[in-house]
């Protein structure tokens, strides 16, 4: 039987997104995963190691018969006797060899990774650690799917950063391996999520975000149930927590502080830094801005260590983000629009339920922290772009981070609203809309 990773009813109901896969029921074939599998089967041989049989006893795919488009179509909407993923093998895909080849290539392209693993011995130790991971069965299938859809580089870059951070903390080898595997698989839940939401070119609206926010829960359940690990809990839990924050501002559960274990805290930072590196191979001071702009989001010691690595790699200058100072007037209008909405709700605080009051209080505190982070730069009094290039780039980096955090706050406001009365829900929705960009 697949292993189960139990999430409490409170955890699963707190801002629960639409779930395309019922809890730990992996016999129902997920259509998004099936589409990724079809794309993979068009490029590599995918062989069932056992007969694939429907829940009704119908023979769907024979053992060791290559999966092709017509055969895969039979699985759409079906429920199987056993979960599909552990039954499949890829004879032409060697995960350790793939990581051994691509890892050094990523490091060669990225000064941050070279600074994180400065010596040949450091790099060799990292490669040896990756080669010792259990990269078979469903894990190999997921990695092949990620490679097929272009997500393996992000997974591997996140893995390398996470391993480097674990080494900086002096974690034992077993924990380093657990962190590495969680990092490789941290976005596996996205393979089971509607790609139209994941790849949207526009800023995701609030209802769209509810679909995306569930991927850490899906990833946790999938890895806990199907990866065949001897100790699945540390890996699955780190995946669940990779979008959380120490101050409770993350998702999907809004966990904070002592609720977040060390592997999850490492993975939060590794994923954040990896995304910054992906957006700009030489991000300069943007890494330090992103990790320090709101104190309390991440572990201080880890932030200090990774910022030191970033300075060694890139110096102190900040690379210009895609959208910079030119969006400042719109950002200030956005803050000005949201401020009276918050205070309007504050005046009605006595009429709110205890849950509503707590939600308003934490949301206002977060908004105030974000606002102060921007205004502390002097942005509110700025009448023209600074002439100093370093100052201009630093301000642009802060603006980019503040824009993202305001959008994230809007989404965080919406996620738990199903637990509030309809009148309170409507008020919070209006507040969230005010926080979204024009």
Model pLDDT, residue 414: 86
The pLDDT of residue 387 is 64
- Distance CA(148)–CA(135), nearest Å, equals 17
**pLDDT at 341 (0 to 100):** 92
Least confident range of 152-161, 265-274, 376-385: 376-385
Q: Is the pLDDT of residue 105 over 90?
A: yes
Q: How confident is the model at residue 326 (pLDDT cuts 50, 70, 90)?
A: confident
- What is residue 375's predicted lDDT score, i.e. its pLDDT? 84
Instruction: Identify the pLDDT of residue 204.
Output: 56
Question: Is the pLDDT reported for residue 13 higher than 50?
Answer: no
Tell me the sheet residues that pair with 48. 88
- Contact (Cβ atoms closer than 8 angstroms) between residue 161 and residue 270: yes
- pLDDT at residue 19 is higher than 50: no
Mean pLDDT of 340-350: 92
> What pLDDT is recorded for position 5?
43
Predicted local distance difference test score (pLDDT) of residue 145 = 98
The whole-angstrom separation of Cα 264 and Cα 243 is: 9
pLDDT category of residue 411 using cuts at 50, 70 and 90: confident
Helix (H, G, I), strand (E, B) or coil at 21: coil
Q: Which residues contact 330 (CB under 8 A, 6 or more apart)?
A: 437, 438
Neighbouring-strand partners of residue 21: none
Burial of 244: CB neighbours in 10 Å, binned 0-12, 13-18, 19+: buried
Residue range 195-201: average pLDDT?
65
Q: Looking at residues 91-109, what average pLDDT do you find?
A: 94
Residue 381 has pLDDT above 70, yes or no: no
Q: Find, among 113, 141, 123, 137, the residue nearest to 39 by Cα.
A: 141
Q: What is the distance between the terminal CA atoms of the chain, rounded to a whole angstrom? A: 50
d(CA 19, CA 241): 17
> Does residue 238 have a pLDDT over 80?
yes
- Average pLDDT of the residues in 59-81: 90
Position 396 confidence tier, pLDDT thresholds 50, 70, 90? confident
pLDDT at res. 364: 95
Instruction: Give CA angle at 391 (115, 364), nearest 5°.
Output: 90
Residue 436, classed as helix, strand or coil, is: coil
C-beta of residue 77 within 8 angstroms of C-beta of residue 29: yes
Q: Residue 357: is its pLDDT beyond 80?
A: yes
Q: Binning pLDDT at 50, 70 and 90, where does residue 328 land?
A: confident
The mean-pLDDT minimum among 11-20, 51-60, 156-165, 355-364 falls in 11-20
Q: What is the pLDDT of residues 240-272, one digit of tens each?
A: 999 999 998 888 888 888 899 999 999 999 999
Please, what is the average pLDDT of the chain? 86
C-alpha span between 298 and 304 (Å, rounded): 10
Q: What is the pTM of this model?
A: 0.88
Provide the token pair at 107.
Answer: 């490091």
**pLDDT at position 386 over 80:** no
% of the chain exceeding 90 in pLDDT: 58
For residues 334-360, give the mean pLDDT.
93
User: Does residue 203 have a pLDDT over 70?
Assistant: no
Instruction: Identify the pLDDT of residue 397.
Output: 82
Confidence of residue 2 (pLDDT cuts 50, 70, 90): very low
Across residues 153-160, what is the average pLDDT? 98
Is the pLDDT score of 201 beyond 70? no
Top pLDDT among 345 and 383 is at 345
What pLDDT is attached to residue 388? Answer: 66
Per the structure block, which two tokens stand in for 295?
């104190």
Query: What six digits make up the tokens of 163?
Result: 């391993």
Nearest to 237 by CA among 2, 3, 1, 6: 6
Q: Is the pLDDT of residue 16 over 50?
A: no
Which of the four pLDDT bands, split at 50, 70 and 90, describes residue 316? low
> Which residues have C-beta within 8 Å of that of residue 31, sequence separation ≥ 6?
76, 77
Residue 1: pLDDT above 80? no
**Residue 3 scores a pLDDT above 50:** no
pLDDT surpasses 90 at 28: yes
In contact, 235 and 181? CB cutoff 8 Å: yes
The CA distance from 339 to 333, in Å, is 10
More confident call, 212 vs 194: 194
Residue of 413 and 379 predicted with greater confidence = 413
In order of their start, the domains of the chain are 9-89 (no CATH), 95-314 (1.10.3210.10), 326-435 (1.20.1270)
Sequence-distant (≥ 6) Cβ neighbours of residue 239 within 8 angstroms: 182, 185, 186, 188, 189, 216, 219, 220, 223, 267
What is residue 382's predicted lDDT score, i.e. its pLDDT?
A: 64
């Amino acid at each position: 039987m697949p292993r189960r990773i139990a999430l409490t009813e409170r955890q699963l109901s707190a801002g629960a997104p639409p779930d395309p896969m019922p809890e730990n029921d992996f016999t129902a074939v997920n259509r998004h995963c099936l589409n990724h599998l079809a794309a993979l089967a068009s490029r590599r041989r995918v062989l069932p190691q056992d007969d694939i049989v429907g829940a009704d006893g119908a023979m769907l795919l024979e053992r060791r018969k290559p999966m092709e488009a017509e055969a895969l179509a039979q699985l759409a909407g079906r429920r199987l006797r056993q979960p599909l993923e552990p039954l499949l093998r890829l004879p032409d895909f060697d995960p350790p060899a793939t990581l051994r080849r691509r890892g050094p290539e990523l490091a060669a392209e990225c000064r941050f990774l070279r600074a994180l693993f400065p010596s040949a011995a450091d790099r060799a130790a990292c490669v040896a650690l990756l080669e010792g991971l259990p990269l078979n069965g469903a894990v190999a299938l997921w990695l092949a799917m990620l490679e097929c859809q272009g997500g393996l580089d992000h997974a591997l870059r996140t893995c390398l950063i996470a391993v480097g951070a674990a080494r900086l903390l002096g974690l034992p080898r077993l924990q380093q391996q657990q962190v590495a595997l969680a990092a490789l698989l941290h976005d596996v839940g996205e393979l089971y999520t509607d790609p139209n939401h994941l790849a949207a070119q526009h800023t995701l609206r609030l209802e769209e975000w509810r679909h995306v926010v569930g991927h850490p829960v899906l990833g946790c359940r999938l890895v806990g149930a199907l990866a065949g690990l001897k100790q699945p809990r540390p890996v699955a839990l780190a995946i669940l927590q990779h979008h959380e924050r120490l101050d409770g501002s993350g998702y999907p559960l809004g966990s904070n502080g002592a609720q977040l274990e060390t592997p999850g805290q490492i993975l939060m930072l590794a994923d954040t830094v990896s995304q910054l590196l992906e957006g700009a191979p030489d991000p300069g001071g943007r890494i330090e801005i992103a990790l320090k702009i709101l104190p309390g989001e991440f572990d201080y010691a880890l932030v200090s260590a990774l910022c030191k690595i970033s300075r060694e790699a890139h110096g102190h200058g900040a690379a210009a983000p895609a959208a910079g100072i030119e969006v400042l007037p719109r950002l200030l209008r956005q803050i000005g629009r949201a401020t009276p909405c918050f205070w309007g709700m504050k005046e009605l605080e006595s009429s709110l339920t205890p849950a509503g009051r707590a939600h308003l209080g934490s949301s206002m505190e977060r908004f105030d922290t974000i606002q102060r982070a921007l205004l502390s730069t002097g942005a509110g009094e700025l009448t023209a772009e600074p002439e100093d290039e370093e100052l201009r780039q630093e301000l642009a980096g802060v603006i980019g981070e503040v824009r993202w955090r305001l959008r994230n706050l809007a989404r965080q406001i919406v996620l738990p609203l199903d637990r509030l009365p309809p009148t309170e829900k409507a008020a919070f929705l209006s507040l969230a809309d005010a926080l979204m960009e024009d």
